[in-house]
Structure 1
């Protein structure tokens, strides 16, 4: 039995767990999902459950390919983005390899690297893989397309691979995406469930050179995208352009939230997506507890190495107003 397993990563979105502890209804600001999702005309087809899904997911990959102008052979799918992170690391990294993960960022990168038998390093030049989250979670920092392409050129020049996580770019600024770029040293990750506010179905997808995609798909467990997730995803990609309205509404609410945080004299990282990293004048754990007692769940950022920060999702205007009122009551 392995005794060197990494610790499990901490995540937001634990609202169902809290509800089972008889805390009643909660406003979940800890999970960064679209507060204004497109209305998708999808009804689950129960008859689809009697058959196994097509584990090649040909129809789904073709729909994704049409949406982004990519060949279906350049598309991988998985049970959420985390499965694809794990599969990528298992397919690319091994004992003796190193990966560069800049902190603070999504904890699953480091966990997946270690589970693959590799290690994380602070020396980018010696890394086989360079991880980049754009916009970054939890800071919200967004690199421009030009900056990402320049970084890709440098990584490829060292013979390494760039793992680019664009899970939140659809709710930020898609013009900065490089989803149209086919490069043998690039693996690009996306998450449909955040954009369409259906995290419960678990669906992620990715792009890469066909040879890399084949390796990732070989490592991925079979049939992990269930029939309902596949069906919803196909319908969602057919309505992908509706996310434009979501981005516009999120941007307005984000600006309002920031203006209220300014009034409260709270510092925050310049946001670009549907969440804000806030510096608070107390231990995050204490503030999180106070907010929870008022029915609001926010992300405690201690697991990111930020003991005096919380991360809050941008939600509807009425919900955001309740967050500001709760912060006014809970802050010293």
Structure 2
């Protein structure tokens, strides 16, 4: 009688294959939980300082039902807002979920993704979790990531420049993942959101433009075939009922972001001028944040500012040890930042 031989099981420590978690700003609650009881001004998270006033009241009775996991009403509202078809719309629990769902759907073990640094760290995390590898040249890459405007530099590429990148990537058979999370607060005329293209996915974020980081809502656009692949890997019910309800109301007032852009532009110019007046170097900004070169280690300056109730983005995790990123906030808040920097730099 023959006995079946089974291969010997080998214990694998999966932690060796998992990337490190990415560093992010917006850690006010974390600092408060560790005893910082005084008011903290958060310049580390890039929210709209002048968000539209949305007449939204949570409906507690809606919590008794599951959300519609197809999100048909929500997708229809988004599609009408941007002149797209609902089948071309994806939604998720923040933009990060859609980054990971896209990578899971489009990348396999060993596939290359082109990521030019410095940029948003979650691209690399998502690529590695999908089994892919990160490269700096896109000649053989399955996916090219482009953040416009870029985080943390604020560099804004024109519509023509982005289209040339798409044309080149698609010509090699690759996909362009275009992250426009901040473009609504910069210059939407440079967006490719209205361009249906089988090799393009455009990512957006309601969190930034309407200043609702607690809601966690991201959305994106692609061909129906691409959206179908993303839907297959997306976890069910990730957009909760309150997030869905708020998003529907926000898109009904989407045109009010024009006023936000005007006010941000004015305040960005004022803040940049004051920062440069302190002898600091500002990368030419285009969005609601500014990358600032500083004359000392960013960790040192960040700690000094935090002791004065100012939280900024330490850019060491971007590979920029002598830079901080600061959000553009209201005039009075920006004055407080300048005063704190004057004290901490001398």
**TM-score, normalising length from structure 2?**
0.95
Gaps of 5+ in 2: 1-12
SS at match of 2:325: strand
Gaps of 5+ in 1: none
Work out the CA distance in 2 between the residues paired with 1:137 and 1:37: 20
Work out the CA distance in 2 between the residues paired with 1:180 and 1:114: 30
Q: Does 1:331 align with 2:340?
A: no
Work out the CA distance in 2 between the residues paired with 1:269 and 1:157: 32
Match of 1:299?
313
Match of 2:199?
185
Match of 1:17?
30
SS at match of 1:259: helix
**Could you say what the CA RMSD is over the residues aligned between the two structures, in angstroms?**
0.6
**Alpha-carbon displacement from aligned partner over 1:72-129 (angstroms, at most 9, x marks no partner):** 0000000000000000000000112000000000000000000000000122101000
Of residues 21, 26, 33 in structure 2, which corresponds to 1:8? 21
Cα displacement (A) at 1:218: 1.0
Work out the CA distance in 2 between the residues paired with 1:20 and 1:224: 27
Work out the CA distance in 1 between the residues paired with 2:36 and 2:243: 30
Cα displacement (A) at 1:193: 1.2
Match of 2:95?
81
SS at match of 1:125: coil
Cα displacement (A) at 1:22: 1.7
**Alpha-carbon displacement from aligned partner over 1:192-236 (angstroms, at most 9, x marks no partner):** 111000010100000000000011011110000000000000000
Match of 1:41?
55
**Alpha-carbon displacement from aligned partner over 1:268-302 (angstroms, at most 9, x marks no partner):** 11000000000000000000000000000000000
**Alpha-carbon displacement from aligned partner over 1:218-273 (angstroms, at most 9, x marks no partner):** 11100000000000000000000000000000001000001101211100110000
Work out the CA distance in 2 between the residues paired with 1:43 and 1:22: 32
Match of 1:237?
251
Match of 2:283?
269
**Highest Rg: 1 or 2?**
2
**Alpha-carbon displacement from aligned partner over 1:7-32 (angstroms, at most 9, x marks no partner):** 10000000110111121220000000
Q: Does 1:176 align with 2:214?
A: no
Question: What is the aligned residue count?
Answer: 332
Work out the CA distance in 1 between the residues paired with 2:263 and 2:217: 24
